[in-house]
Amino acid sequence: MNRLTVIAIGIALAVVPLSANLLQNPDFSSWDAPDQPTGWTVEDSTRAEVEQADNPARSPQYSARLTRKVESTGNNKGLIQQVGVSANLGYTLDVWIYDDDMDVSGGISITWRDAGGTYISNSGVSYSDSSQHSWQRVTVVDTAPAGAATADVLIRTYGFTGGPSGGRFYVDDASFIQGVGILEQPGAGLRPGAVVVVEPNPTSGPSQIALELSRPGRVRLDVYDMAGSLCTNVHSGGLDAGRHVVSWNGRDNAGQLLPSGLYFAVLSDSSGNATVCKLVLKR
């Protein structure tokens, strides 16, 4: 078999800011009341409490503290802000989260709606890592689907233990922009001990993507094109340390075969660090 295995290249995954931040009060510096950040809607205060906080705060003067108030794993609520978008363009949501509480995780996602407010689809959720006792960047990259006119930017509490209510985390410095990108910075932000290998490579279709993790954690495995646009999410969720193999069928999120060309398999963690493997599609 004519097969080329590409050694994983460590680079930092970074957003290329092609437009201004579309969010109002993204740094939570302005509050209408101690439980109401300006520009944001509190979804349901009986399920998730939102409070002004000044310690920790990543940027002056305040952050927002979210506390889970429901039992088990459901009824996830928090903050929402609706933003106008253009269909078929890529968008990046970044939120900095301070989460050192194992009873809760912060989760962010994008819900796409048409001009009448009807639900179209959701990006899927990226979660904070409670084992990190410092500010961490949590990122979602997605393409606004056909017919999308608005996006609900969501920051919510998530419980994974199935136990009692409780648990809190802090959010600050949110960003929602049009555009995505992959910025090559060798060694900068490299996820320690992570390796990504695609086989076969080049490939004409289905591939096996092997991941080597030196420590457990929540990770995303995505495929990007040369322009830095997200093609598909292959995996999102927790994985144990060690070797894992996932299958990719060579298709995008809509189920369409991707054309021949150069792509990137990107393994990223909840801090926004990434390990990347180049892959070649030959149809």
Say if residue 52 is in the same domain as residue 153.
yes
Between these two residues, 152 and 271, which has the higher pLDDT value? 152
Say if residue 145 is in the same domain as residue 219.
no
Q: Give the pLDDT band (50/70/90) at residue 180.
A: low
In a domain, 141, yes or no: yes
The CATH number of residue 55's host domain is 2.60.120.260
Among the candidates 178, 211, 244, a domain finishes at 178
In a domain, 19, yes or no: no
Write the DSSP string, 199-264: ESSSBSS-EEEEEEESS-EEEEEEEEETTS-EEEEEEEEEE-SEEEEEEE-SB-TTSPBPPSEEEE
Tens-digit pLDDT profile for residues 50-67: 999 999 999 989 999 999
**What is the dihedral sign for C-alpha 158, 58, 14, 208?**
negative
**Which pLDDT score is estimated for 95?**
92
Based on the structure, what is the number of domains in the chain? 2
In a domain, 16, yes or no: no
7 DSSP 8-state letter:
P
In a domain, 167, yes or no: yes
| Count of alpha carbons within 13 angstroms of residue 103, beta-carbon side | 14
CB 265 within 8 A of CB 196: yes
**Which pLDDT score is estimated for 117?**
96
Say if residue 83 is in the same domain as residue 203.
no
Say if residue 203 is in the same domain as residue 232.
yes
Q: Give the pLDDT band (50/70/90) at residue 278.
A: confident
In a domain, 98, yes or no: yes
Say if residue 60 is in the same domain as residue 174.
yes
The two beta strands, 36-37 and 41-42, are unpaired
Say if residue 50 is in the same domain as residue 155.
yes
Say if residue 109 is in the same domain as residue 227.
no
Say if residue 112 is in the same domain as residue 143.
yes
* Averaged pLDDT, 139-154: 91
Say if residue 157 is in the same domain as residue 217.
no
Domain that holds residue 75: 31-178
Tens-digit pLDDT profile for residues 101-134: 888 889 999 999 999 999 999 988 888 888 878 8
Say if residue 158 is in the same domain as residue 244.
no
270 DSSP 8-state letter:
T
Write the DSSP string, 98-133: E---TT-EEEEEEEEE-TT--EEEE---EE--TT--
pTM for the whole thing? 0.63
**Which pLDDT score is estimated for 193?**
53
**Which pLDDT score is estimated for 273?**
66
